Chains A and B, each alone.
Chain A
Amino acid sequence: MTVAQIVFILLSVVGLGAALLVVTTRNLFHAALYLIASFFAVSGFYILLEAGFFAAAQFLVYIGAISILFIFATMLTRTVRGMVPRNSQWQAALFVSVILFVAMLLIFSPANFSLPFGQGRTFGGAEWQFAEVPNKPGVLRDVPASSINDFGRALVDLNQYGIALLLSGLLLLIGMVGAIWVARERKPREILAERARMAAEEAEERAKAAAKAPEVSVAHAAVAHDAHHH
């Protein structure tokens, strides 16, 4: 058991535990904090992979910026403290998550296997790309000391990632324009119209829920009828 393995296991426990708590906790602010804990764990994984720059970038962007954005966004939804988020579709979500997890396991596993149906197609057996490392077949090579330099050079080279850089700048610009449009100042009439529309939708949902349980409502009507008569 090397130190790296122990650290990996600890980080996995922290990361997965925090991620699980994000989706099961009742308090939205606590969910945001557990999300930050899982970002910490991901940063630790980057360090284990000797990608120090990306660990710090994870800190800077995710913990330093996106977490704040999340927290502000939850505050924007008029959340009174203690409001419990309800998710009525959690069974379907759990099912889909399990399917996706099994699929990822199969695709990324190093073992080959083939399905019994179809044309016996083979999955798995993912090959990790190695450089020629002497005496060490099948092992990820060491990260060279000039990796950040290479990354920087690749980022601005128009033959490699230069176009991607420019496009990402454009994407950020578009995101900003969209956010400003969504958060624009609305005139009072617009605000009232929006509120009326939301109230109408809510009433519709309530009516649908009531229609799904006709016996209950009939019983209620009967009780109300009796109470009215006495």
Chain B
Amino acid sequence: MDIINNLVKDIGDGIAAAIIGLLGQGLAADIVIMAIAAIAVFAVASGGFAALTYAERKIVARIQDRVGPNQAGPFGVLQPIADAVKLFTKEDTTPASADFWVYQLAPIIVAVFATLTFTVVPFAPGVVGTNLNIGAFYIIAIGSASTIAILMAGWGSNNKYSLLGAFRTVAQLVGYEVPMLLNIIPVIMLTGSMSLVDIIERQTGVNGGWGVPFIVIMPLSALAFLISGIAETGRSPFDLLEAESEIVAGFHVEYSGMKFGLIMMGEYMNALGVAVMFSVLFLGGYGGPILPPYLWLVLKTFGVFLVLMWLRGTLPRVRIDQLLNMNWKFFVPLSVINLIMIMILGKVFVSDPALFKANGGILIQPFAQVIIFGASSLALLILALAVVTRRVRKDRLAEAEVLQQRREANQQIAAAMH
């Protein structure tokens, strides 16, 4: 088992030793090692993307009671390759009045920023591209910087619908970043560090951690983060602006061939990034009892992505105004109140004797603290849902009553006319 656990580390050691033997212990060797590691990260991300497009089409097809791709290779396994070949051989038309450099650079920027999130994700203990001490914050920052690329794509196409679609997409993306931000903060509060490796260690019990994944401690944050992440990457049911059945396909209408392929790749990698982030932040990353760490991470990520695909195949689309209303009137206030609640609870009910001596509060067992956090999160969720459903029901009943009155008035008029 240790062999598999340390497989990548040993291979990395071997390659690094070979290169240092070749180039000496200087700058050139460092850069070459980093370049090879970068290519490895990029390969992992792209491989994941390719596998996921196939898995998604198959699984969504089964949910919709059909088979999915089964022509290219046995069980359609070579479908991603077929898609890639098709996109490569499509003609590369550029609109005549497009702004050339802006138009050409936008898909590249979308795809590049999507792959940069994988540089800080830990795949196993000791196997991580780079263990930044601001890992979680860095991922959020990179995600937010990619909204500019969408504006570039929309504007560079010199197309009214493209521009309008880009504005609305940016409004959606930008809106759902706020709950994502606000729901990572409780995780960081209970960890004491923004580094992803530290967050995983806190959840797997190494170095004095909880031993409990954060989804048990704060289910509300996890749920809000997941839903915001789905909306952030523009997946169904939040994909009104780029749905395949819309006539004008949003901001990427003027892109054909592999540039469109790059935009799609960026989108899928964003979705994969959200799934990986959720697994790392809330499910415990590579931690787990028997299987090797890589397998745990893959299983957890795929599980989260399964939920994403399930939602895609099942739910109808949400309108853009419902989407934005839900964000600003429900998710953001809920996230802020959740944050304040966890902050105050964490200071009132402490489980560490040293902190108790320093700051006071009520000293309880760590196990009890987990239960208090989890129960209060769930209570807040139920309360919020109750408030919202009651208000929505009141609105709906009022609307129904207005319609009923109008119908009666129409009937009276019709009766009076005869």
Chain B, range 155-198, C-beta contacts under 8 Å to A: 155, 158, 167, 170, 174, 177, 192, 194
Q: Name the residue of chain B whose CB is nearest to the CB of A36.
A: B148
CB-CB under 8 A for A64 and B158, given A52-B134, A56-B137: no
In the complex, the answer to whether A33 meets B138 with C-beta atoms within 8 Å is no
In the complex, the answer to whether A59 meets B144 with C-beta atoms within 8 Å is yes
Q: Mark A68-106, 1 if CB is under 8 A from B, else 0.
A: 100110000000010000000000000000000000000
On chain A, the number of residues with a Cβ less than 8 Å from chain B's Cβ atoms is: 22
Distance to closest chain A CB from B185 (angstroms)? 11
State which of A64, A81, A148, A149 has its C-beta within 8 Å of the C-beta of B145: A64
Distance to closest chain A CB from B293 (angstroms)? 26
Interface of B, helix, strand, loop or mixed by DSSP = helix
Q: Does B84 contact A (CB under 8 A)?
A: no
- Give Cα A175–Cα B134 distance, bound, in whole angstroms: 29
In the complex, the answer to whether A57 meets B27 with C-beta atoms within 8 Å is no
Interface of A, helix, strand, loop or mixed by DSSP = helix
In the complex, the answer to whether A63 meets B148 with C-beta atoms within 8 Å is yes
Which size bracket describes the interface of B in this complex? Answer: 20 to 34
In the complex, the answer to whether B102 meets A29 with C-beta atoms within 8 Å is yes
Distance to closest chain A CB from B277 (angstroms)? 15
In the complex, the answer to whether B132 meets A52 with C-beta atoms within 8 Å is yes
CB-CB under 8 A for A148 and B152, given A29-B102, A33-B102, A64-B144: no
User: Which chain A residues lie closer than 8 Å to B144 at the CB level?
Assistant: 59-60, 63-65
Distance to closest chain A CB from B175 (angstroms)? 12
User: Which chain B residues lie closer than 8 Å to A65 at the CB level?
Assistant: 144, 174
Q: Specify which of B138, B158, B170, B177 lies most central, judged by the most chain A CB atoms within 10 Å of its CB.
A: B138
B-contacting residues of A (Cβ < 8 Å)?
Answer: 3, 29-30, 33, 36, 52-53, 56-57, 59-60, 63-65, 67-68, 71-72, 81, 145, 148-149
Taking A64-B144, A64-B147, A68-B148 as known contacts, 13 extra A-B pairs with beta carbons closer than 8 A to each other, sorted by chain A number, are: A3-B27, A36-B148, A56-B134, A56-B137, A56-B138, A59-B142, A59-B144, A60-B144, A60-B145, A67-B148, A71-B151, A145-B133, A148-B134
